[in-house]
């Protein structure tokens, strides 16, 4: 048997490490060490049900496992082959048989490309990644494709940046490839700082080699031989697994010099972020890697011309990279067959807030919010009504119930006043005060503004004060108009994305829930 135990941050925080220890002891006591293989995996996605354990070949999905449940699992299931039904995720219980996970509401509409190995392999063992076609895409790119063919494939796939902006990845690569320089760089943005977002963390914890492989492919495509992964120091499990993966890839000759005997050299280093949200902005991130204070720089010049250390650089987010090896292996037609006209492939969302199945999901672009919330997410606890979902963190906006059936993709989200962002999706029920939500996100951006430019440094503070006045019941209808005007000034005059998007939560709640603001003011109509 193979016993998979989730070792992602969610399950680790609910004691899965201790469960692994107890499990190994019980297996030893039962004399089953040779027959049973314990695998610490990355995230399965159903974080609300952690700690999670799955036993194969039966595919029994045990949820909320406690240390005291382990002796029964070992003596009944592993020794006698009798599944412990009371511990099964009830969605998988089908009278006398158990359903496959893919038949459950949580998984059946999901399509896992970026997350394909999360919850499947042990991310600390490179052989497990290789057994899942790992590094085959790098081999294919280096031995069967020219750098231009790699770029053309990514361009043709329609892959767009998963970090928020949605810029076409292949176009970004071609711009950097076209610039001649003695040195170029490939960077990975793992500075995931949005409240409620944990997609990149889970990907790095569950499948770090996919990111390494993709960065090496990107290096080949643009002519770079050095990469940097900029990751938050607050993600210790991801950092540790990434370092193990880099060391193993070097040992296997998959990083370093003369990879696959082709003469191509590429190596990677990790740089830790110190918790500043602005360092997720591409130019601030590069300034931070250079060892300076992480402040944004004006663009142009764009990183493809003058990026890290003044050299042509590409920066992609973790999820964007996680798609690359599969696109190279399976081709652009396979990838672009999924999704909507202008948003191809899938998107990973971190589901949070007022929803049953808090966790990590990956769905084809074009899936509706209703499908994500009601079917995959299992609906809202306590039979409460859906009020809105916040996407894109502090840069995004609130999607109200009237847009529950809009297919989610980059362009549709912008059209309804939100944005894809990196994929945080926070669900709010009928009890949530939308003015409080706007205030929460604005407070976050006020704290995180780097202070370099006035519209953001001062503007967001003034905006917060106005919002605060309204929530104290001292605002007027005129204040609402002034607030809206200030939002547009901040958006159009700030230097970087942080300031340009900071008013979005205020604007989108004003647009859809103006009556809630009006209920707070003193001169109500």
Residues engaged in binding ligand SF4 (CB under 6 A): 278, 296, 449-453, 456-457, 494-496, 498-499
Give, for 370, the enclosing helix (H) or strand (E). Answer: helix 369-370
In the complex, the smallest distance separating the C-beta of residue 396 from ligand SF4, rounded to whole angstroms, is: 16
Exposure string (b/e) for 43-66, b if CB count within 10 Å is 16 or more? bbbbbbbbbbbbbeeeebbbbebe
List 160's β-bridge partners, or say none. 168
Name residue, tokens 């944004």.
296
Distance CA 7, CA 379 (A): 26
Nearer to ligand SF4 among residue 325 and residue 503 (C-beta): 503
Distance CA 403, CA 208 (A): 36
Contacts of 341 (CB under 8 A, 6+ apart): none
Nearer to ligand SF4 among residue 324 and residue 456 (C-beta): 456
| Phi, psi dihedral angles at 425 (to 5 degrees) | -135, 105
In the complex, the smallest distance separating the C-beta of residue 449 from ligand SF4, rounded to whole angstroms, is: 4
Nearer to ligand SF4 among residue 202 and residue 494 (C-beta): 494
In the complex, the smallest distance separating the C-beta of residue 445 from ligand SF4, rounded to whole angstroms, is: 8
Q: How do strand 346-353 and strand 424-429 relate by DSSP bridges?
A: parallel
In the complex, the smallest distance separating the C-beta of residue 340 from ligand SF4, rounded to whole angstroms, is: 31
In the complex, the smallest distance separating the C-beta of residue 344 from ligand SF4, rounded to whole angstroms, is: 30
Nearer to ligand SF4 among residue 344 and residue 491 (C-beta): 491
In the complex, the smallest distance separating the C-beta of residue 200 from ligand SF4, rounded to whole angstroms, is: 20
Nearer to ligand SF4 among residue 2 and residue 454 (C-beta): 454
Distance CA 218, CA 331 (A): 16
Under 8 Å between Cβ of 96 and 54? no
Three-state DSSP state, 452: coil
Q: Where are the beta strands (DSSP E) in 319-404?
A: 346-353, 359-364, 386-391, 397-400
Nearer to ligand SF4 among residue 115 and residue 276 (C-beta): 276
How far are the Cα atoms of 126, 398, 476 from residue 424, in angstroms, in the given order? 29, 12, 33
Nearer to ligand SF4 among residue 186 and residue 495 (C-beta): 495
In the complex, the smallest distance separating the C-beta of residue 486 from ligand SF4, rounded to whole angstroms, is: 14
Nearer to ligand SF4 among residue 326 and residue 395 (C-beta): 395
In the complex, the smallest distance separating the C-beta of residue 450 from ligand SF4, rounded to whole angstroms, is: 3
Of all residues in the shown chain, the one whose CB is closest to ligand SF4 is: 499
Name residue, tokens 């769905």.
363
């Amino acid at each position: 048997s193979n016993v998979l135990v989730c070792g992602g941050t969610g399950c680790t925080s609910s004691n899965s490490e201790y469960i692994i220890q107890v499990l190994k002891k019980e297996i030893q006591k039962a004399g089953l060490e040779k027959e049973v293989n314990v695998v610490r995996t990355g995230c399965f996605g159903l974080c609300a049900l952690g700690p999670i354990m799955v036993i194969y070949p039966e595919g029994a999905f045990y949820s909320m496992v406690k240390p005291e449940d382990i002796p029964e699992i070992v003596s009944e299931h592993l020794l006698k082959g009798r599944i412990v039904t009371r511990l099964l995720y009830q969605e998988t219980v089908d009278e006398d048989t158990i359903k496959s996970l893919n038949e459950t509401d949580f998984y059946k509409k999901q399509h896992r490309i970026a997350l394909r190995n999360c919850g499947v392999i042990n991310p600390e063992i490179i052989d497990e990644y290789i057994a899942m076609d790992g590094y085959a895409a790098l081999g294919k790119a280096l031995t069967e494709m020219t750098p231009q063919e790699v770029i053309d494939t990514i361009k043709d796939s329609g892959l767009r940046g998963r970090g928020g902006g949605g810029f076409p990845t292949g176009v970004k690569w071609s711009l950097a490839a076209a610039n001649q320089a003695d040195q170029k760089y490939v960077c990975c943005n793992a500075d995931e700082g949005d409240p409620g977002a944990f997609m990149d963390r889970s990907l790095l914890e569950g499948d770090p080699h996919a990111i390494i492989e993709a960065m090496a492919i990107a290096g080949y495509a643009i002519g770079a031989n050095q990469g940097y992964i900029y990751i938050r120091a607050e993600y210790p499990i991801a950092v540790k697994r990434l370092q193990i993966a880099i060391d193993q890839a070097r040992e296997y000759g998959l990083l370093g010099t003369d990879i696959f005997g082709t003469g191509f050299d590429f190596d990677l280093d990790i740089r830790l972020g110190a918790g500043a949200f602005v360092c997720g902005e591409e130019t601030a991130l590069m300034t931070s890697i250079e060892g300076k204070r992480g402040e944004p720089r004006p663009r142009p010049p764009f990183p493809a011309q003058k990026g890290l250390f003044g050299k042509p650089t590409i920066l992609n987010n973790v999820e964007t990279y996680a798609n690359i090896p599969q696109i190279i292996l399976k081709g652009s037609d396979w990838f672009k067959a999924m999704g909507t006209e202008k948003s191809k492939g899938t998107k990973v969302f971190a589901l949070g807030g007022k929803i049953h199945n808090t966790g990590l999901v990956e769905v084809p672009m074009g899936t509706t919010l209703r499908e994500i919330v009601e079917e995959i997410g299992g609906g809202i606890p306590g039979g409460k009504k859906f009020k809105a979902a916040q996407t894109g963190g502090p840069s995004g906006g609130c999607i109200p119930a009237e847009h529950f059936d809009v297919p989610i993709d980059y362009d549709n989200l912008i059209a309804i006043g939100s944005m894809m962002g990196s994929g945080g999706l926070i669900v709010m029920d009928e009890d949530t005060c939308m003015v409080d939500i706007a205030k929460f996100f604005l407070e976050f951006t006020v704290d995180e503004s780097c202070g370099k430019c006035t519209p953001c440094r001062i503007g967001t503070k003034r905006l917060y004060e106005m919002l605060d006045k309204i929530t104290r019941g001292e605002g007027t209808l005129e204040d609402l108009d002034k607030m809206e005007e200030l939002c547009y000034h901040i958006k159009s005059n700030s230097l970087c994305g942080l300031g340009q998007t900071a008013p979005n939560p205020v604007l989108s709640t004003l647009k859809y829930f103006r009556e809630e603001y009006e209920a707070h003011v003193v001169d109500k109509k």
